[in-house]
Structure 1
Amino acid sequence: MSSSSPYSRRITALYALFLLPGTLAATWITRTPDIRDRLNASTDEMGLVLFGLAAGAMVGVLSAGAWVRRFGTRGVLGVNIALMAAGMAVVSLGVSSGQALIATGGLALFGAGMGLAEVAINIEGAAVERLSGRALMQTLHGCFSLGTVLGALVGIAFTAWRVPTEYHLMGLTLATLPGFWWAIRGLPRETGRFTPASEETPTTSEDAPKAANASVWRNPRVLMLGTIVLAVALSEGSANDWLPLLLVDVHGVTPALGSLGFMLFALTMTLGRFSGNALMRWLPRHTLFRLCIGLALLGVALITLTEHSGVAIAAVVLWGIGTSVGFPLSMSAAGEGDNGDAQVAATAIMGYIAFLAGPPLLGFIGEHAGLDRALMVVFVVLALGLAVSGAVRRQDGTVAPSHKG
C-alpha cells in the first residue's frame, strides 16, 4: 500500500479494528476449559453462560444499523470499547468468585460491544473497498483471524503457566485499549451516517433510511448472501466456542493441547483469508467459495465421525481453511450496488446472529447427544450455504477491485 494513498491511515486503522477484537475473542476461547471448571458448569450450563454472549451480541447486531445511521461507524465503535471493557471486567469478577450468573452478565455486555463493532467495521471496510478500488475484505478479516492466533498463543502460554484466568482476561483487555483508541481516531465521522439532502421534507428525510432498510430484506440476493454468511459464521463460531472442549472431552487431549487445536484452526483461517486475494486472481469468487466450503464440510464430517486425535487435528485444518473465505467474500458481494451500506449491514446481521446464537444451541444439543454429534447441525447448514453459493458471483456491471497487496 502506498504511503501517499489518501486512505492509508483509514485502512491501517481498520487493520487494527479487526485484529484487536480477534485477540480478545481468543482470550475467552482458550480459557473455556478452565472457566468451565472454575464455574463448575456442565455442558448445557456452559451453553447458558455462552447464551449471555449471544444475547448481548444479538442486541448489538440488531441495533447496529440504526446506531450507525445516527452516529456513524466511528461513534458506534467508541461505544463498543466501553461495553467490551466493562463486560470483560464483570466476566473476570464472575470467574474469580465462581458465579456463573455474574460471568453470564459480563459476557452479555462484552457481546453487545462486539455485535455493534462487527457490523460497524464491516460497513466501514466495504465503504473503503468501494472508494479505494482495492480488494480489502479478505485482508481485513484475515487480521481478525490473525488476532485470534495471537490471542490463542497468549492463552496457551498463560494456561501452561497457570496464570489465573481473571488476570489474563483483564490484563489483555487493558493492554488493547490504547490500540482501539488510536484506531478509532483514524476513521472519518460520516461513514454510514444518514445525511438527508436539503431539498427533502423532514418526513421524507426521516423515513428514507427505514424504507431503504426494509427494501434490503426483500432482495433475494441479499437473503442468499445472508444464508451463506449464516453458514460460515455458524461454522466459525462453533469452532471458537467449542473446539477446545470438543478436543478435550471427545478426543482425549489435554487442556493445553485443546487450546493448541483452536490456535491451529485460527492459523488456518488466517492463512486462508490472507491467501484469498491471490487466489481470486485465478479463480472466480463463487468458485473459490465452493471449493473452500467443500473442505469445511469434509473437516466437520471427519471431526464428527472419528475419535482419533490425529484425524481430528487434520479435520481442524480442513475446517479452518474451508471456513476462512466465506464471510469476507460475502461482505464484498453485499457491498456492491447503490445500497451497499444497508446490504452489508443486513448480511452481517444474519451472520453474526448465527455466529453468536448457534454455538449455545449446540451446547444444549451436545449435553444430550455429545458435542461431536451436535456438529452435524453445522454440516447441514454449511451444505445449505453451498446450495445458494451462486449469490457470491459478481454482479453484471460491477468493477472488480484490484487484488494487489
Structure 2
Amino acid sequence: MSSPSPYLRRIAALYALFLLPGTLAATWITRTPDIRDRLDAATDEMGLVLFGLAVGAMMGVLSAGLWVRRFGTRSVLAVNVVLMAAGMGVVSVGVSSGQSLVAAAGLALFGAGMGLAEVAINIEGAAVERLSGRALMQTLHGCFSLGTVLGALVGIAFTAWRVPTEYHLMGLTLVTLPAFWWAIRGLPLDTGKRAQPTAVRADTPDTDTAPPVSVWKTPRVLMLGTIVLAVALSEGAANDWLPLLLVDVHGVSPALGSLGFMLFALTMTLGRFSGNALMRWLPRHTLFRLCIILALVGVALITLTEHSGVAIAAVVLWGIGTSVGFPLSMSAAGEGDNGDAQVAATAIMGYIAFLAGPPMLGFIGEHAGLDRALMVVLAVLALGLAVSSAVRRPEKTPMTAASHNG
C-alpha cells in the first residue's frame, strides 16, 4: 500500500478542500475594514460580530467527530459547503443592511461549516497519509495558507476597485461551489464511519471514541497543546485583526491593510510548504524554536512601532514565525501508541485559541488599543517557546521513514 497512485484523485480532492476554505476565509478577512465601516461598529462591537464566527466554528468542531462517525467525511463536507454558502449569504444581507446581529448570525453559519470541515478534512488527510505512506499534513495545511493568499489577492483587488463587499462575498462563494462539489465527489463514502474503525480519528472529547482522561493528564500532550494554543492564537489574531490593526493603528489605506494580510498569508504559505525541506537540515524542535522567536520579534515590532514600513516588515516575520508550529505539533502529537487521542486533545486546545482568542483581543483592544491587545499574543507565544521541548522527535517513530524529517 506504499504506492500513492490509487489515491491521486483523493489527494487532489484534499488539496482543493484545504485550499477553498482558506480562500473564502480570506475573503471575509480582507474586507473587515469595509465591513466595520458599513456596520458602523466600534472595536468591541466587531468583537461581538467575530464572536458569532467563533461560536459557530466551535459548535462545528465539537460536534464534527460524532457526525463523521455516523455519516462519513464526504457527507459532512457536503453539509459544510451548504452551511458556508448560506452563511456568506446572510453576512452579505447583514452588511448591506448595516445589521451587526445579522452579520454575526451569518458568520455563525459560516463558522459552523468551517468547524465541520476542519475536523473532516484532517480525518480524511490522516487516512490517506496512513494508506499511502506519504507525509501530507505540511502540504495540506500549506494549501489552506495558499488559499488565503489567493483570497487576499482577490480582496485587495476588489477593495481597490471599490466593489461592494456583499457582491464580493457572494460572488466568490458562487464561483467556488463547483470546485467544492468536484472535490467532494473525489472522496470515498465511508471514511470515518464506525463500520471502518481503521479510518476513524478521535477528534472531540465528548464522544465514545474521545481521548481518554489519561491523555489530558499526559505532560507532553499538555505541552503540545500549549504550543498549538500559542500558534493558533497568533494566526487567529492576524486573520481577524491585522487589516484593522494596520488601518487604525498604523494609518495605512484599507487596500494596504489588505496587502499586509496578504503578506502574512504568503509567508505562512511559504513556511508551510518549505517545512519538510527545512527539517532535512534542522531538527524539528530547533526549527520550531527559530520560527517562534521570529514570531515574537514580529509581533513585538508591530505592537511597539509607529512606522508603517516597519509594521509591514514585522508582518513578514510574524507570518514566517507562525507558519510551522501547528503542523509540527500535530505531527508530534500523532507519534506513539495513543497517537489519535493525543492529536485530538492537542487540536482541541488549538481550535479553542484560534476561535475564541481573537474576539477576546477585540474586547481588550476597545479599551487599550489593538496594538496593546497583542501583548497577550506575545505572552502566549513566549509560553509556547518555554515548552518547545515537547516538539522534539522521539528516538523511533512510525512516520520517520515516510516524512523524511531529520
Question: Which of the five TM-score ranges fits, normalised by the shorter chain?
Answer: over 0.9
| Structure 1 Cα separation of the partners of residues 394 and 369 of structure 2 | 42
Answering whether residue 277 of structure 2 is matched by residue 278 of structure 1, we say yes
Task: Give the equivalent residue in structure 2 for 1:201.
Answer: none
Residue 91 of structure 1, CA deviation: 0.4
The amino acid of 2:97's aligned partner reads S
* Structure 1 residues 211 and 169: alpha-carbon distance in aligned structure 2, compared to 1, 3 A threshold: closer
Report the count of equivalent residues.
395
Task: Give the equivalent residue in structure 2 for 1:129.
Answer: 129
Task: Give the equivalent residue in structure 1 for 2:19.
Answer: 19
Q: Deviations over 1:12-58 (max 9, x none)?
A: 11111110000000000000000000000001110010000011111
Structure 1 gap segments, 5+ residues each:
198-206
The amino acid of 1:294's aligned partner reads I
* Structure 1 residues 262 and 367: alpha-carbon distance in aligned structure 2, compared to 1, 3 A threshold: same
Q: Secondary structure at the match of 1:192?
A: coil
Q: Deviations over 1:306-348 (max 9, x none)?
A: 1111110111000000000011111222233344443333322
Task: Give the equivalent residue in structure 2 for 1:153.
Answer: 153
- Paired residues of 1:194 and 1:209 also in contact (CA < 8 A): no
Task: Give the equivalent residue in structure 1 for 2:201.
Answer: none
Residue 193 of structure 1, CA deviation: 2.6
Task: Give the equivalent residue in structure 2 for 1:309.
Answer: 308
Residue 175 of structure 1, CA deviation: 1.1
Moved more, 126-135 or 368-377: 126-135
| Structure 1 Cα separation of the partners of residues 80 and 287 of structure 2 | 33
Answering whether residue 260 of structure 2 is matched by residue 261 of structure 1, we say yes
Task: Give the equivalent residue in structure 1 for 2:333.
Answer: 334
Task: Give the equivalent residue in structure 2 for 1:224.
Answer: 223
Q: Secondary structure at the match of 1:7?
A: helix
Q: Deviations over 1:161-208 (max 9, x none)?
A: 1111001001111111111111122222333333388xxxxxxxxx99
Task: Give the equivalent residue in structure 2 for 1:187.
Answer: 187
- Paired residues of 1:57 and 1:114 also in contact (CA < 8 A): yes
The amino acid of 2:91's aligned partner reads V
- Paired residues of 1:122 and 1:331 also in contact (CA < 8 A): no
- Paired residues of 1:134 and 1:401 also in contact (CA < 8 A): no
Residue 401 of structure 1, CA deviation: 4.4
Residue 389 of structure 1, CA deviation: 1.5
- Paired residues of 2:65 and 2:207 also in contact (CA < 8 A): no
Task: Give the equivalent residue in structure 1 for 2:202.
Answer: none
The amino acid of 1:300's aligned partner reads V
Residue 135 of structure 1, CA deviation: 2.0
* Structure 1 residues 312 and 4: alpha-carbon distance in aligned structure 2, compared to 1, 3 A threshold: closer
* Structure 1 residues 214 and 8: alpha-carbon distance in aligned structure 2, compared to 1, 3 A threshold: farther
Residue 3 of structure 1, CA deviation: 9.5
Task: Give the equivalent residue in structure 1 for 2:387.
Answer: 388
| Structure 1 Cα separation of the partners of residues 361 and 387 of structure 2 | 23
| Structure 1 Cα separation of the partners of residues 70 and 388 of structure 2 | 33
| Structure 1 Cα separation of the partners of residues 56 and 355 of structure 2 | 9
Task: Give the equivalent residue in structure 2 for 1:237.
Answer: 236
Residue 281 of structure 1, CA deviation: 0.9
Moved more, 341-350 or 275-284: 341-350
| Structure 1 Cα separation of the partners of residues 195 and 214 of structure 2 | 19
TM-score calculated relative to the size of structure 2: 0.92
* Structure 1 residues 208 and 50: alpha-carbon distance in aligned structure 2, compared to 1, 3 A threshold: closer
Task: Give the equivalent residue in structure 2 for 1:89.
Answer: 89
Residue 232 of structure 1, CA deviation: 0.6
| Structure 2 Cα separation of the partners of residues 345 and 65 of structure 1 | 10
The amino acid of 1:94's aligned partner reads G
| Structure 2 Cα separation of the partners of residues 401 and 100 of structure 1 | 51
Task: Give the equivalent residue in structure 2 for 1:73.
Answer: 73
* Structure 1 residues 168 and 404: alpha-carbon distance in aligned structure 2, compared to 1, 3 A threshold: farther
RMSD, aligned α-carbons: 2.1
Residue 139 of structure 1, CA deviation: 0.9
Task: Give the equivalent residue in structure 2 for 1:204.
Answer: none
* Identity percentage of aligned residues: 87
Task: Give the equivalent residue in structure 2 for 1:48.
Answer: 48
| Structure 2 Cα separation of the partners of residues 137 and 123 of structure 1 | 11
Residue 403 of structure 1, CA deviation: 4.6
* Structure 1 residues 187 and 336: alpha-carbon distance in aligned structure 2, compared to 1, 3 A threshold: farther
Residue 211 of structure 1, CA deviation: 6.1
The amino acid of 2:88's aligned partner reads M
Q: Secondary structure at the match of 1:337?
A: coil
| Structure 2 Cα separation of the partners of residues 85 and 344 of structure 1 | 29
Task: Give the equivalent residue in structure 2 for 1:397.
Answer: 396
Residue 214 of structure 1, CA deviation: 4.2
Residue 374 of structure 1, CA deviation: 0.2
The amino acid of 1:172's aligned partner reads L
- Paired residues of 1:39 and 1:98 also in contact (CA < 8 A): yes
Task: Give the equivalent residue in structure 2 for 1:120.
Answer: 120
Task: Give the equivalent residue in structure 1 for 2:293.
Answer: 294
| Structure 2 Cα separation of the partners of residues 35 and 394 of structure 1 | 44
Q: Secondary structure at the match of 2:5?
A: coil
Residue 4 of structure 1, CA deviation: 6.4
* Structure 1 residues 274 and 187: alpha-carbon distance in aligned structure 2, compared to 1, 3 A threshold: same
| Structure 1 Cα separation of the partners of residues 210 and 361 of structure 2 | 36
* Structure 1 residues 230 and 401: alpha-carbon distance in aligned structure 2, compared to 1, 3 A threshold: farther
Task: Give the equivalent residue in structure 2 for 1:346.
Answer: 345
Residue 215 of structure 1, CA deviation: 4.5
